[in-house]
Amino acid sequence: MSGPAFRTALTDLTGARHPLVQTGMGWVAGPRLVSATAAAGALGILGSATMTTGQLRNAVREVRGRTDQPFGVNLRADAGDARERVRIIVDEGVKVASFALAPSRELIAELKDAGVVVIPSVGARRHAEKVAAWGADAVLVQGGEGGGHTGDVATSVLLPQVVDAVGIPVIAAGGFRDGRGLVAALALGAAGIAMGTRFLLTSDSTVPDAVKARYLAADVRDITVTTAVDGLPHRMLRSELVAGLERAGRPAALLRAVRHAASFREVSGVSWARMVRDGLALRRGKDLTWSQVLLAANTPMMLKSALVDGDPRGGVMAAGQVAGVINDLPSCQELVDRIMAEASRTLERLRPSA
């Protein structure tokens, strides 16, 4: 196990040995991946949006049983049970809370009062400014290269814009996979980098082998942004299913969304009443139409079909553009060691010769 190559505001804030974050991917970032990431010296983040509250508590305890290194939990700030999940984080002594949407000022204060580090994820400067003003400890900013729901501004443009706008540590996401990317992000003012697809494509990830093979076979032209899945821009692998969804049109998509909402309710244990409340919050938070809110019910179950059930034909595969240049499945320890060693070599190469 390698020692820290360098110290940043991110390592100081979280206690992780390296300025690397594994993002809280739903269905993917479970106890096995998170504990392997944390043990390797990076900051692993549990993806709790697809867990019940009971499953979340059990997952936190499982990670704690596997490693004594710091880790975090990712929450949906607009979820009806967000406060209950915050209480679990506080009760269980989790080091970091990250958020897929901007948390309220009150949630940030509650977590900070309990000594939890708060790191919201944002895709625009104005959102970073808002959460910084509300007391967030750091912010994770994802450029358009990132997988899943994404924007249209490249990381290389968005990152320095946010760094210049806020006085808290900024973590860069979207397009990172190696030590060269880490050095580039640090040069642009980041305190570290966050990676989803790169950690998904490790031997510690529970994503089925057949689906990992689809990712590894992709090149950069095989990764697209579509609104056909849930009405929002969503970066994923091209597939027969995605093409079919784009051809099907809105009425068929809405009918499918109702079916998937029922399936997700059964898997998650969430009541219809809570799903409606969450939908209302999502509509307000993202200024969506009711059609788009209904389509958003597609996402969890369509991701589960591929990432858990191993059916790439029946599900969708969220992917950053970086998937097109990843061709191996190292362990988390091998990946982290490799990134940090390459970062050190890159810095050495950039150092002026005497």
Whichever domain contains 53, its CATH number is 3.20.20.70
233 near 213, Cβ under 8 Å?
no
The torsion angle over the Cα atoms of residues 134, 135, 136 and 139, rounded to 10 degrees, is: 70
User: Are residues 69 and 23 both part of a single domain?
Assistant: yes
Q: Does residue 243 fall inside a structural domain?
A: yes
Residues of the chain with pLDDT > 90, as a percent, come to: 73
Residues of the chain with pLDDT > 70, as a percent, come to: 84
pLDDT in the model for residue 349: 94
Q: How confident is the model at residue 223 (pLDDT cuts 50, 70, 90)?
A: very high
Q: How far apart, in whole angstroms, are the C-alpha atoms of residue 186 and residue 171?
A: 9
Name the β-bridge partners of 73: 46, 97
Host domain of residue 133: 9-206+328-350
User: Are residues 195 and 223 both part of a single domain?
Assistant: no
320 near 235, Cβ under 8 Å?
yes
278 near 79, Cβ under 8 Å?
yes
Q: How far apart, in whole angstroms, are the C-alpha atoms of residue 339 and residue 145?
A: 19
Q: Does residue 3 fall inside a structural domain?
A: no
For the cut 60, the answer to whether the pLDDT of residue 280 exceeds it is no
User: Are residues 188 and 263 both part of a single domain?
Assistant: no
Q: Does residue 4 fall inside a structural domain?
A: no
User: Are residues 264 and 147 both part of a single domain?
Assistant: no
* CA R_g for the chain: 19
Q: What tokens appear for 10 in the block? A: 């991110």
> What is the average pLDDT value for the chain, to the nearest integer?
89
Q: How confident is the model at residue 268 (pLDDT cuts 50, 70, 90)?
A: very low
Q: How confident is the model at residue 344 (pLDDT cuts 50, 70, 90)?
A: very high
User: Are residues 168 and 201 both part of a single domain?
Assistant: yes
For the cut 80, the answer to whether the pLDDT of residue 274 exceeds it is no
Q: What tokens appear for 53 in the block? A: 């509250």
pTM of the full structure:
0.89
pLDDT in the model for residue 276: 56
Higher pLDDT, 304 or 155: 155
Q: Does residue 212 fall inside a structural domain?
A: no
User: Are residues 58 and 173 both part of a single domain?
Assistant: yes
Domain total of the chain: 2
User: Are residues 186 and 306 both part of a single domain?
Assistant: no
What pLDDT, in 10s, does the model give residues 226-241?
988 877 899 999 998 8
User: Are residues 120 and 18 both part of a single domain?
Assistant: yes
Q: How far apart, in whole angstroms, are the C-alpha atoms of residue 244 and residue 313?
A: 11
Cα angle for residues 347, 350, 354 (degrees, 5° grid): 115
Name the β-bridge partners of 221: none
DSSP 157-213: HHHHHHHHH-SS-EEEESS--SHHHHHHHHHTT-SEEEESHHHHTSTT--S-HHHHH
What pLDDT, in 10s, does the model give residues 45-103?
999 999 999 999 999 999 999 999 999 999 999 888 999 999 999 999 999 999 988 89
User: Are residues 273 and 337 both part of a single domain?
Assistant: no
Report residue 100: phi and psi, to 5°: -80, -25
The torsion angle over the Cα atoms of residues 172, 28, 119 and 184, rounded to 10 degrees, is: -10
Q: Does residue 2 fall inside a structural domain?
A: no
306 near 316, Cβ under 8 Å?
yes
Q: How confident is the model at residue 257 (pLDDT cuts 50, 70, 90)?
A: low
User: Are residues 187 and 225 both part of a single domain?
Assistant: no
pLDDT in the model for residue 136: 98
Give the up-direction half-sphere exposure of residue 213: CA atoms within 13 A in the CB hemisphere.
Answer: 6
Per-state percent for the chain, helix, strand, coil, to nearest 5: 50, 15, 35
Q: Does residue 268 fall inside a structural domain?
A: yes
Q: How far apart, in whole angstroms, are the C-alpha atoms of residue 51 and residue 81?
A: 12
Q: What tokens appear for 30 in the block? A: 């479970």
Q: Does residue 214 fall inside a structural domain?
A: no
Closest listed residue to residue 123, CA positions, set 102, 103, 98: 102
User: Are residues 295 and 148 both part of a single domain?
Assistant: no
User: Are residues 87 and 170 both part of a single domain?
Assistant: yes
Q: Does residue 92 fall inside a structural domain?
A: yes
